[in-house]
Structure 1
Amino acid sequence: MEEKKSHESVRSVERALEILLAFRPGDKELSVAELLTRVDLSRPTLYRLLNTLEQQGFLVSSGEPQRFRLGSAVAHLAHVWMTSHSIAQLAQPMLRTLWEETTETVALFVPDGVYRLCVAEMESPQPLSFRRGVGYREKLVLGASGRSILSQMQLPAEELGRYLSDPNQDVARLFSELETIRTQGFAMSHHELIEGAVAVAAPFFNGADQVAGSLCIFGPSVRVTDKRVAQFAELTRREAGNLSRVLGQQTRQVHVAAGSRK
């Protein structure tokens, strides 16, 4: 009898978690009817669990018929998780994989207004290499790591003006370039910020499917040939996708056109 009760309690917890995980990015509220299409529960069981979750602060209901939204207890857990796991810490396995597979300098950037900020870096062990260092800050519009982030913000052309580094820059051309980067899923720069340096970067996303930064590989052009650029593009997209999943992304945002390369 005790074993049966224990099993039922565990199953109730599993069902309650299924309800919480039924909420997706963009879902402000869900009705009971909408939840029934996403969880395999009977209506009476769903109502019972919704009531329990609301009592514990994980859900809040309003209106008639009732609509449910995530409550403050979820925000509390999210805050605890985020303060305990910085993106730089969470990205360490992905950065190390890139570093080991390329032997070039790899870095993690996050957006900071119209800039991007380097929050983690692993320097190439090779004698000829480039590095920027943690704390390096540059405009999003400059360099592969910045433009890979900017491309996923999908700003209309008229809003790109405040991101420009040069007021005479061709906005239409920049808009077209960002669309290409967004489609292929990575950005590349050649001799742009450091003479002789080539950089390849791919964006990663958070649980709200918003761009959260970029992973970047950069090295000297004598080693980073066109063939290696194509390889680096695949690697950065792969590890950026892994980091996105760690950060809670449920669906892949970056659409990669078949055979698309730069």
Structure 2
Amino acid sequence: METKRKNDTIQSLRIGLSIIEVIAKEGRPLKVIEIQEKTQITKSNLYKYLNTLIQENFLFRDSETSMYHLGSKLIQYGFAAMGNQDILPIITPYLQSISVRTRSSVIFAVPTYNGPVIAKIWRSSQILNIGAELGTLLPPRSSSGKIFHAFSSKLMIDSWNKEKDLSLPENELEKIKKDKIAFANEPLISQISSVSIPILSFDKELIGIVTVVGFSTDIPSTPDSEFSQYLQEVQLEISGKF
């Protein structure tokens, strides 16, 4: 029997990974010609690799600028594997406090070109299966999706809009922006609702989304409830740290 050598590799996989590495090292989106110059891959082969990486969400191509960004799949894998990004140690104690205060599960999601992706979950002691794990993309009709729509960059929203119906009534969208809180009454599962708040940087950029998920009887549906006002106070406190 032939002994398998330890240094056996798949060349095509290495080439694909080299494209991702080039964009990651540059720390900015790149055009095809820049990627080709740095990788020395022939143009015909490079397009094949790029198309494959886009299809699998490892890369994202902005149709307006024709520039290539790192894709949401990398963010999903990174958070799922590490769980210790700089923001998570700051966010985690708040997730725990919110869960204890509300007796509900709490999710922290980050914005990507495919929508909000779960990076951290703090589960309540209640017997409640929220049907989500690390790396899960949250749907447009969830309260997380509404926050994403209200506070994300135009590029991210346009990218998400290509495949999903993101239309929200203008009055609801404006109210979310004003109150910095969004509600979703049983968007996916009967008797399970959610409420979300945005985490914003000093320049109002969306850093993440905190979502409380629980039984509909326990989750508020208006911003004037004590529950909602508590979350709005938390929103200001967390955002103040960024």
TM-score for both structures, normalised by structure 2: 0.56
- Structure 2 CA distance for aligned equivalents of residues 133 and 216 of structure 1: 14
CA contact (8 A) 2:109 2:118 kept: yes
1:200 Cα deviation from its structure 2 partner? 0.4
What's 2:235 paired with? 240
Matches within 5 A, 1:1-262: 86-128=86-128, 130-139=130-139, 141-153=140-152, 155=154, 162-164=159-161, 169=165, 171=167, 173-224=168-219, 226=221, 230-247=225-242
Per-residue CA deviations over 1:174-207 (Å, capped at 9, x if unaligned) read 4432212111210000111222211000101124
What's 2:37 paired with? none
1:208 Cα deviation from its structure 2 partner? 3.4
- Structure 1 CA distance for aligned equivalents of residues 99 and 241 of structure 2: 19
Which secondary structure state, in structure 2, belongs to the residue aligned with residue 218 of structure 1? Answer: strand
- Structure 1 CA distance for aligned equivalents of residues 166 and 107 of structure 2: 29
- Structure 2 CA distance for aligned equivalents of residues 239 and 225 of structure 1: 16
Task: Tell me which moved more, 100-109 or 191-200.
Answer: 191-200
- Structure 2 CA distance for aligned equivalents of residues 228 and 212 of structure 1: 22
CA contact (8 A) 1:105 1:131 kept: no
- Structure 1 CA distance for aligned equivalents of residues 222 and 205 of structure 2: 31
Which secondary structure state, in structure 1, belongs to the residue aligned with residue 240 of structure 2? Answer: helix
- Consecutive unaligned residues of structure 2, counting only runs of 5 or more, are 1-83
What's 1:61 paired with? none
- Structure 2 CA distance for aligned equivalents of residues 123 and 149 of structure 1: 22
C-alpha change, 1:207 and 1:137, in structure 2 (3 Å) is same
CA contact (8 A) 2:138 2:144 kept: no
- Structure 1 CA distance for aligned equivalents of residues 112 and 218 of structure 2: 31
Report the RMSD for the aligned CA atoms in angstroms: 3.0
C-alpha change, 1:97 and 1:165, in structure 2 (3 Å) is farther
1:228 Cα deviation from its structure 2 partner? 9.9
1:109 Cα deviation from its structure 2 partner? 0.9
C-alpha change, 1:170 and 1:203, in structure 2 (3 Å) is closer
- Structure 2 CA distance for aligned equivalents of residues 241 and 105 of structure 1: 20
* Percent sequence identity over aligned pairs: 17
Aligned length: 159
Letter in 2 for 1:204: I
1:135 Cα deviation from its structure 2 partner? 1.5
CA contact (8 A) 1:94 1:242 kept: no
Task: Tell me which moved more, 112-121 or 237-246.
Answer: 237-246
1:114 Cα deviation from its structure 2 partner? 3.5
CA contact (8 A) 1:201 1:215 kept: yes
C-alpha change, 1:215 and 1:147, in structure 2 (3 Å) is same
C-alpha change, 1:205 and 1:226, in structure 2 (3 Å) is closer
- Structure 2 CA distance for aligned equivalents of residues 162 and 96 of structure 1: 32
Letter in 1 for 2:172: E
Instruction: Mark the structure with the bigger radius of gyration.
Output: 1
- Structure 2 CA distance for aligned equivalents of residues 235 and 88 of structure 1: 21
- Structure 1 CA distance for aligned equivalents of residues 176 and 223 of structure 2: 18
